[in-house]
Chains A and B, each alone.
Chain A
Amino acid sequence: MAEKLLEVNDLKVSFFTYAGEVQAVRGVSFHVNKGETLAIVGESGCGKSVTVHSLMRLIPSPPGKIKEGSIIFDGIDIISLSEKQMNEVRGSKMGMIFQDPMTSLNPTMTISQQIMEGIMRHKDVSKKEAFEEAIRILELVEIPNARKRANNYPHQFSGGMRQRVMIAIAIACNPMLLIADEPTTALDVTIQAQIIDLMKAIQKKMNTSIILITHDLGVVADIADRVNVMYAGEIVESGTLNEIFYDPYHPYTWGLLESVPRLDMAEDKPLVPIPGTPPDLLDPPKGCPFADRCKYAMVICKEQHPEMTSCSKTHKVSCWLTHPDAPKVERPLGGMKIE
């Protein structure tokens, strides 16, 4: 059925600092199917950004280094590519949208020039054709008066419009994979709703796969097909949208879901925060990284790292509670579904 576009296997990325090796990503494996949206959620510093930057080979080196693992994208081994070959892939087959629309655009170039840049590098077209293509894409991302505004500079656009331009640049060459690194975090909610809707529409039209990094579970519920939950440089749980929201197994996922307030519930449920702070990846714990903050922690959690266990064909979790000998705990999210 679903065809795999991207497959990441046991990816390990470290940053070598004065204090030692910071293991930002510690053995991450996942895949993305054609045309689907994979959301990666987790706290800042959990390695979600480093993971996707590795896919684009955007890890600054030094101090960063992809230590181990493989990234197979559309049949190509990304890690073995030369910088020049990688440039061919970036922009044409993979596009990226960054968090801050204010700083990711070049202030000295008009927006049409910035869109044309990518088109002309990857496609054999004349300048005029590239311009027409740029206009078409600006219309696609719903910039009003695209033809007129194409020659404006970024500062003449509002934050939401700039993010649309960023998306236009990212999709200019019909990429197969669109990586969105917290694309709406810097935006107001009403604008966020517009951008998410736009991304959905583009995906439908172009059948692009999307990897969305976010910490907003509302956005995830709105757009994702599958979800990876990351913690301390590892994927602790992965599954389909419904599995993660209605049938989660990992106490960290429970914690995430319980710590967000719901606008649609008349009666307030108390917020259950995840106490404490994630571990420093300079010296990650040898057992489960979440053990210190976990209400259900057992002796073994501190001593031995849990293995990935399958709960269903699509649902995997890395937690000792799934071990047959572990005590049965009542999952706190039985009542997550309303009515």
Chain B
Amino acid sequence: MNSGKKPLLEVKNLKKYFNVGPRQTLKAIDDISFNIYKGETFGLVGESGCGKSTTGRVITKLYEPTAGSIYYDGKDITELDRKEAQNYTKKVQMIFQDPYASLNPRMTVADIIAEGIDIHKLYRGSDRQARIYELLSMVGLNEEHANRFPHEFSGGQRQRIGIARALAIEPEFIVCDEPISALDVSIQAQVVNLLEELQESLGLTYLFIAHDLSMVKHISDRVAVMYLGAIVELAPSKELYKNALHPYTQALMSAIPIPDPEVEASRKRIFLSGDVPSPINPPEGCKFQGRCQHVMPICREKTPELVDQGDGHFVSCYLYNK
């Protein structure tokens, strides 16, 4: 895919299992591969428990992968020494989901934003102060806010503080782990627009994790759809929304209500029966077989490969991989 360009981040056959009991393994990520190129926004969508957040956490080294490798700028991040690892944290940052839990309630906003600056000893004294003010204004807040505590802010303001914290050490790559799902719609647009502006002015690359497909479509260049720890479809975002191939992607898209009464009234839904099965001891073969309308015998035997259907549109489904 995108041959010729070198990926900034390369995820290869990544697996992350958790032991959750005697002879029980939770397969949070089960063999996924994708590339992210410099300057793009790569969306990762799926329902809760599909492994999208775990993927983000493995990339930011909060979790060690069970198998597989992640190359950043050509280097395997699982084999970094201490100094390289410290360097890596300066390049790869994360924005978290819950604006209430992601800020330490006992620290002032200035200290929260300056955390990375202090850890990596980037600025001191009045330079540190100036940098904090600069970061605050970058995210639409001002100096007055610096000495206040997180609980005094609204959700959207807190999320912007979280963004300022991540930006403080001038990262190149930011994992946005559901940064807007806890926010009100009007505030979501604020945060998304801010992320887009920052991407443009600072040349950032994003991995944007969310369950809201309409927002992911809006912000991403390419989107991967995850289901039970596997990527079922990966395509440029416009292509995906125009021409979804995988039955799961189709169902997911049809489940999203459109804020337009007439469209809503005339729309047909593909209903998925039941719930997402547990990632503990998932089924053999295609992960989606239990809820798929088009299930075939082969789906129960072997996991379908993620195959290119042209123009960088990959799908992992036997309907297309004859």
Contact = CB atoms under 8 A, between A and B. Distances in A.
Q: Do chains A and B touch in the complex (CB under 8 A)?
A: yes
Contacts of B185: 43, 215-217, 256, 259-260
Contacts of B217: 261, 263, 268
B162 to A, nearest CB: 16
A338 B260 contact: yes
A274 B186 contact: yes
A271 B189 contact: yes
Interface string A258-271: 01111110101001
A246 B261 CA distance: 9
B91 interface: no
A255 B186 contact: yes
B186 A259 contact: yes
A144 to B, nearest CB: 8
A245 B275 contact: no
A329 B185 CA distance: 24
Nearest to A44: B184
B124 interface: no
User: Which of A193, A242, A257 counts the most B-chain CB atoms under 10 A from its CB?
Assistant: A193
Given A194-B271, A266-B238, A277-B157, A218 B259 contact: yes
Interface in B150-177: 154-157
Given A191-B275, A221-B264, A271 B259 contact: no
B261 A277 contact: no
Contact of A189 (B193, B241, B256): B256
22 contacts: A188-B47, A188-B48, A188-B276, A193-B254, A216-B257, A221-B261, A255-B186, A257-B259, A259-B188, A260-B185, A262-B260, A263-B256, A266-B241, A273-B186, A273-B188, A273-B190, A274-B187, A274-B189, A275-B140, A277-B156, A337-B260, A338-B260
Closest 4 CB pairs of A and B: A218-B257, A273-B189, A217-B259, A259-B189
A272 B189 contact: yes
A106 interface: no
Nearest to B154: A277
B255 interface: yes
B190 A275 contact: yes
Nearest to A267: B238
A160 interface: yes
B70 interface: no
A183 to B, nearest CB: 13
Contacts of A259: 185-186, 188-189
Contacts of A336: 260
A89 interface: no
Contact of B255 (A161, A189, A261, A274): A189
Contacts of B241: 263, 266
A190 B261 contact: no
B261 A242 contact: yes
Contacts of A287: none
A283 to B, nearest CB: 14
B258 interface: yes
B253 A190 contact: no
B269 interface: yes
Contacts of B263: 221, 264, 338
Interface in B225-253: 238, 241-242, 251-253
Nearest to B254: A193
A310 to B, nearest CB: 22
Nearest to B263: A264
Nearest to B190: A273
B235 to A, nearest CB: 14
Contacts of A242: 261
How big is chain A's contact interface, by range? 35 or more
Interface in A221-245: 221-222, 241-242, 245
Given A215-B185, A218-B264, A277-B154, A189 B190 contact: no
A222 B264 contact: yes
B92 to A, nearest CB: 26
B154 A189 contact: no
Contacts of A275: 140, 190
A166 to B, nearest CB: 15
B81 interface: no
B171 to A, nearest CB: 24
A44 B187 CA distance: 10
Contact of B192 (A161, A194, A255, A271): A271
B273 to A, nearest CB: 9
B211 A189 contact: yes
Given A189-B252, A266-B241, A160 B186 contact: no
Given A189-B213, A218-B256, A273-B186, 13 more contacts: A43-B184, A161-B275, A189-B252, A190-B255, A191-B47, A191-B275, A215-B184, A219-B257, A241-B261, A242-B261, A260-B185, A273-B190, A277-B154
B186 A43 contact: yes
Nearest to A193: B255
Nearest to B196: A271
B155 to A, nearest CB: 7
A319 interface: no
Interface string B108-126: 0000000000000000000
Given A43-B184, A260-B259, A263-B241, A190 B190 contact: no
A115 B275 CA distance: 23
B269 to A, nearest CB: 6
Nearest to B184: A43
B89 to A, nearest CB: 31
B212 to A, nearest CB: 8
A71 interface: no
B192 to A, nearest CB: 6
Contacts of B264: 218, 221-222
A266 B242 contact: yes
Contacts of B275: 158-161, 191
B262 interface: yes
Contacts of A273: 186-190, 192-193
Contacts of A216: 185, 257
